[in-house]
Structure 1
């Protein structure tokens, strides 16, 4: 991995603040996280290419548009639609992240690294999209119309659903901790701790 040097150049016409945000996000997800996952493991060119390609599929699966109110409508466009004409899905449904490397063949070792990337990305990056500092200060709550990622510990992150908030359920203290969502499966009721906000309607 250390034999190849990559230099990334960014041209963003909308202003420096957007360029900085995009470049920081790209560096965090595509450079920093893979280094943490690979560590000191020696990989061949084909193996590192496989790993980076699957990470690209992860990053290129994020929606570019807002969900429709109709769950029967097509899914939002992602960068994958512009690359191959359809969404990029993670075909790796087997979780190797808890297995030891000893005895694994090289392909399973790469899949373990991809699983570890998914876990770190979902825990460290997605959680930053909707930070809540408990008991310190009041933060803006989810509002009707917000688009969110619905966390599900039982399926790979690449298959997590997108949903739109259609109803808030406030508790006795007038604080919303549960919302009703509309997604392609219909209506779901989820706690806000299992949601990551993507965008707010303009």
Structure 2
């Protein structure tokens, strides 16, 4: 029951849909993230730490390099979900 509620209630909130209406905190080096796999199960998404951020021409973070248990992955910033670890999760 825990995993069922986690997948349905918590994970969708990690990827808020406020794309154009509200600025979000950008990904930074050292952030803990889930690497989103649309074809995979949400409770199987790998976790990792952001090692490098690659901004686009508009100075917004577009790509990130994430260190996971299996290696370093390069993903679009839209395909990672930051896990809040500070006071914002209270």
Q: TM-score, normalised by structure 1?
A: 0.37
Task: Pick closer, same or farther for the CA change 1:192–1:158 going to 2, 3 Å.
Answer: same
The one of 4, 24, 29 equivalent to 1:139 is: 24
Q: In the alignment, is residue 157 of structure 1 matched against residue 42 of structure 2?
A: yes
Task: Provide the rounded CA distance (Å) in 2 between the counterparts of 1:134 and 1:157.
Answer: 21
Deviation of 1:200 (Å)? 4.0
Shift of 1:132: 5.0
- Structure 1 regions of 5+ residues with no counterpart? 1-54, 63-117
Structure 2: segments with no counterpart, 5+ residues: none
Provide the rounded CA distance (Å) in 1 between the counterparts of 2:24 and 2:30: 18
Larger radius of gyration: 1
Are 1:127 and 2:12 counterparts? Answer: yes
**Matched residues, number:** 86
Q: Give the counterpart of 1:199 among 76, 84, 87.
A: 84
Matched, 1:177 2:62: yes
Q: Cα RMSD (Å) of the superposition?
A: 2.4
CA distance in 1 between partners of 2:26 and 2:17 (Å): 9
Structure ranking higher in strand proportion: 2
**Structure of greater relative contact order (alpha carbons < 8 Å, 6+ residues apart):** 2
